Amino acid sequence: MRPISAPLVPSAELIALWQDRARRPVLVDCSFDLADLDAGPWTYAAAHLPGAAYLHLENDLSGPRSGHNGRHPLPAAERFVATMAELGCDDDRHVVAYDNAGGMYAARLWWMLRWVGHDAASVLDGGSAAWRAAGLPFESGAAQPVGVRGAFSLRPTLTRSVARAALAAQLGQDRCLIVDARSAERYRGENETIDPVAGHIPGAINRHFKDNLRVDGTFKPASQLRAEWLALLGGREIAGVVSQCGSGVTACHNLLALEIAGLGGAALYPGSWSEWCAQPGAPVATGAAP
């Protein structure tokens, strides 16, 4: 199968591949709403890309919560691999994730696929809104079982991640640059409505994930993303960059933007702020970055 131009695919290229059975990718709708856990399945049932499956952030793309491991901890890798196999995904089959929020949730699936060693993964640029704007067809109805389990296996990871303890040990070191993907308001510790503690990890800088997008919800050109991110990194090596957010979801959006910009190699802190602030005595900073 000819690979899609990873990590981002436009609607025009995707519809051409979808019409070619020999190259048809697995489509996965990741639409979700943090304020309404039922909104994603409802959105999917109302209208989704032809043949797309649905994965729920809480039920399929997260593991059990302990109260100390964040709001969206990663599931066991073996469990996630089984989930993808149940969707009919094979090791050589391309997966294209999309959502209704500019890639906010689709990027999580993209990162997780690479986490379990699947490099044939992309995000639909602009998601369902771009598909609709192009006048392309939708289907309706609840998700249906695929029927034929795919041969999807756990392979060596293609990503980097860092645990809370390891990140805490790196605080204050010049080689480590933590980038917080939350809004500037939440980063500063103002009007926190999701997590019980307001603020950010000491030393972290802020790059709201929405800054990766154009007004229409598609990603900025690779050259523009590269220039913006290089200015933000200030000469630091990408190997020292750690992406985090509230719960390890929109942090993946920043990692996707870096990949699009040709700056791959940064790490994810999966537990992110929701795990960090749940630890007794964890250091917390507020206000704008110095």
| Residues belonging to the active site | 245
DSSP track, the chain: -PPPSTTEE-HHHHHHHHT-GGGPPEEEE----TT-TTHHHHHHHH-B-TT-EE--TTTTS-----SSS-SSPPPPHHHHHHHHHHTT--TTS-EEEE-SSTTTTHHHHHHHHHHTT---EEEETTHHHHHHHTT---B-S-----SS---------SS-B--HHHHHHHTT-TT-EEEE-S-HHHHHT-S--SSSS-SB-TT-EE--GGGGB-TTSSBPPHHHHHHHHHHHHTT--GGGEEEE-SSSSHHHHHHHHHHHTT----EE-SSHHHHHTTSTT---B-SS--
